[in-house]
Structure 1
Amino acid sequence: MGCLGVHFAVTRDQARRLLDAVDEESDDAVLELIEEIEEEWDEDNLQESDKSWDAIHRCLSDGTLDQETGSYPLNRCIFGGRHLCFSGDYFVVYVAPDEVKDVATALNDLSKEWLENRYWKLPPDYGNKDEVDFEYTWENVGFLKAFFSKAAKAGRSVIFTVSQ
């Protein structure tokens, strides 16, 4: 993978519309709504994770990009929520407001040492690990801590999007 990831804290109406649009036969309706959300580009309610989402998910789960692994609530930060697209080319992952609160709490409890320990144990398929990449990953975890805390306080759902 390695494409650019973005988290959006969506309104109740946006969340309802997204959930109502889910269709295992076609992603068109969900992708149309995602396009609307992206076009708004509400800086106050989004967080870009660039390419760091890959390392973050791996560190918060079992070291892989498997969507089914890891422990709640940390696994909900990137890929562990409800998947709203089924084509495999574009991922839209939904996290409900109550789960957002749990993710925020769990992220805020993470230490740099804990994440660094997980990072250096990532399997070879992650690619080249180095100090610069770890610091980049840790910086983005900090951004996600603030983002999830803000979304939790506002009672918002979160969606994570990334294309392959």
Structure 2
Amino acid sequence: MACRGYFLALDEPLAARLLVHDGDDERLIEFIRDLDMTDDVPDECEVDKAWDGIHRCLTEGALGGEDGTYPLNAVVLGGLPLHQGEDYVVSYNTPAEVREVAAALAGLDLTSFADRYWKLDPDDYGAPVDQDGLAYLTRYLRKITEFYEQAAKTGRASVFVVDQ
């Protein structure tokens, strides 16, 4: 699978429909795929494979939903996990959590983000740790920050989705 991640901003009715599928992985992924094929989703943010490094740099360098501290650990993986299987990660944040994440990202010190990047273990991370990699992550971090700011302004929930 590609491991390319993306975020969706969901209004209240769509978030409610998403949450109904919690516990039924197949129906959850089918619902998300259907959303991808319609214009019902007001905002989407594709992040390629940058989600992995961004999560590590916002937390403690590891790849898990429990790593780091809230609200930065909720940007990518630390929200409510909705998919129980191993084929996908689906992480949900409520509108209130989206506002808290957006505020944290707006105040994020990019120097500390870069410092965490340079401390990543390339073997654990699975990619070289170099200037190009940092530029790649910061480019997508800006997109994620804009996504959360817009979702917070409009009172939307967020869901992060990646196949594994």
TM class by smaller structure: over 0.9
Q: In 2, distance between residues paired with 1:13 and 1:123?
A: 42
Q: Which residue of 2 aligns with 1:132?
A: 132
**CA contact 1:56–1:141 (8 Å) conserved in 2:** yes
User: What is the number of equivalent residue pairs in this alignment?
Assistant: 162
Q: Which residue of 1 aligns with 2:45?
A: 47
Q: Which residue of 1 aligns with 2:28?
A: 30
**CA contact 1:3–1:163 (8 Å) conserved in 2:** yes
Q: In 2, distance between residues paired with 1:162 and 1:83?
A: 12
Task: Mark the runs of 5 or more structure 1 residues left unpaired by the alignment.
Answer: none
Q: Which residue of 2 aligns with 1:15?
A: 15
Q: Which residue of 1 aligns with 2:80?
A: 82
Query: Aligned with 2:83: secondary structure?
Result: coil
**CA contact 2:8–2:41 (8 Å) conserved in 1:** no
Q: Which residue of 1 aligns with 2:55?
A: 57
Structure 1 residue 114 corresponds to structure 2 residue 74: no
Q: In 2, distance between residues paired with 1:142 and 1:41?
A: 24
Query: Aligned with 2:37: secondary structure?
Result: helix
Query: Aligned with 1:159: secondary structure?
Result: strand
TM-score norm. by structure 1 comes to 0.93
After TM superposition, the structure 1 stretch with the greater mean CA deviation from structure 2, 62-71 or 95-104, is 62-71
Give 1:61 deviation, angstroms: 1.1
Structure 1 residue 150 corresponds to structure 2 residue 150: yes
**CA contact 1:2–1:54 (8 Å) conserved in 2:** no
**CA contact 2:10–2:42 (8 Å) conserved in 1:** no
The one-letter code matched in structure 1 to 2:139 is E
Structure 1 residue 67 corresponds to structure 2 residue 65: yes
Q: In 2, distance between residues paired with 1:146 and 1:42?
A: 20
Query: Aligned with 1:104: secondary structure?
Result: helix
TM-score norm. by structure 2 comes to 0.93
Q: In 2, distance between residues paired with 1:56 and 1:2?
A: 17
Give 1:37 deviation, angstroms: 1.2
The one-letter code matched in structure 1 to 2:56 is R
The one-letter code matched in structure 2 to 1:71 is T
Q: In 2, distance between residues paired with 1:43 and 1:30?
A: 15
Q: In 1, distance between residues paired with 2:106 and 2:60?
A: 20
Identity among equivalent positions (%) equals: 40
Q: In 2, distance between residues paired with 1:30 and 1:68?
A: 22
